[in-house]
Amino acid sequence: MAQNVMGNSQLLLLGLSLLVLLVYSQTRPGWERFQRFKNQHVRYPKHLASNNDQYCMMEMKWVNDYNNACKGFNSFLHNQTQNIINVCFHPNIFCRNNETNCHRSIFRNSITECRSAGGQYPDCYYNGTAVRKYFVVACIPISPSGRLLPVHLDSTFWNPGQVFLLPPP
Ligand SMILES: *[C@@H]1O[C@H](CO)[C@@H](O)[C@H](O)[C@H]1NC(C)=O
Ligand SMILES: *[C@@H]1O[C@H](CO)[C@@H](O)[C@H](O)[C@H]1NC(C)=O
Ligand SMILES: *[C@@H]1O[C@H](CO)[C@@H](O)[C@H](O)[C@H]1NC(C)=O
């Protein structure tokens, strides 16, 4: 009888572990979106290349492998990941899709913009331009800590007045 009780509590423990695992695996998508954001938009330091076209050709490979297609336009932010994460703690502003979980940098960041110049996946050609612009990221709280992390680069802009601030509450 005692063994039976033991067996039941072990079963309960197993059940609880599975539940924790299930909850954990369901929180992974947020973490994966952050990883994907980094792979698509964060490069620090900027690797050497003979010019920005070559740079884009090299770095867009990792971006294009997500969709097996030549992405038309992509920006790489050259800064430490932590400095980009910190932008999530700036006040909320509207995103281009009218959601309100966007945040803008208060500094101009070194960015390489890559624009498609044709080709067929996996041989994609690009024109690259180095700029210093402000940027806007969308952030979501990632479980289990609930820490805000960037998951989407919403826009980049030259003029600090170009974004839509939220009306005061
Ligand atoms: C965002 O809101 C503005 C003003 O309410 C509206 O004109 C615009 O169509 C909306 N954009 C999207 C993508 O929903
Ligand atoms: C990186 O971010 C910091 C702010 O966190 C900013 O002052 C600095 O200019 C940025 N560096 C580059 C290379 O954009
Ligand atoms: C754009 O990239 C293509 C392919 O790398 C290159 O041949 C062309 O010279 C570039 N054009 C400009 C304007 O830089």
- pLDDT of res. 2: 53
pLDDT by 10s per residue, the chain, length 169: 455 555 666 666 666 666 665 555 555 678 999 999 999 999 999 999 999 999 999 999 999 999 999 999 999 999 999 999 999 999 999 999 999 999 999 999 999 999 999 999 999 999 999 999 999 999 999 988 889 999 999 999 998 776 666 655 4
CA dihedral 87, 91, 92, 93 (to 10 degrees): -90
Ligand number nearest CA of 82 is 2
Ligand number nearest CA of 164 is 1
How many angstroms does the Cα of residue 53 sit away from the middle of ligand 3?
7
Could you give the CA distance from residue 60 to residue 120 in angstroms, rounded to a whole number?
13
Residues 6+ apart with CB under 8 A from 82: none
* pTM of the complete model: 0.82
> Hey, is 104 helix, strand or coil?
strand
Handedness of CA 125, 74, 41, 32 (dihedral sign): negative
Query: Is the distance from the beta carbon of residue 125 to the nearest atom of ligand 3 less than 6 Å?
Result: yes
Place of tokens 């290349």: 49
Which structural domains are found in the chain, ordered by start? Answer: 29-162 (3.10.130.10)
Closest-CA residue to 81 (of 127, 35, 17, 129): 35
Query: Is the distance from the beta carbon of residue 81 to the nearest atom of ligand 2 less than 6 Å?
Result: no
* Residues 132/110, Cβ–Cβ less than 8 Å: yes
Active site residues: 41, 152
- pLDDT of res. 1: 47
Closest-CA residue to 154 (of 86, 104, 87, 91): 104
Atom of ligand 1 minimally distant from the CA of 97: 13
Query: Is the distance from the beta carbon of residue 117 to the nearest atom of ligand 3 less than 6 Å?
Result: yes
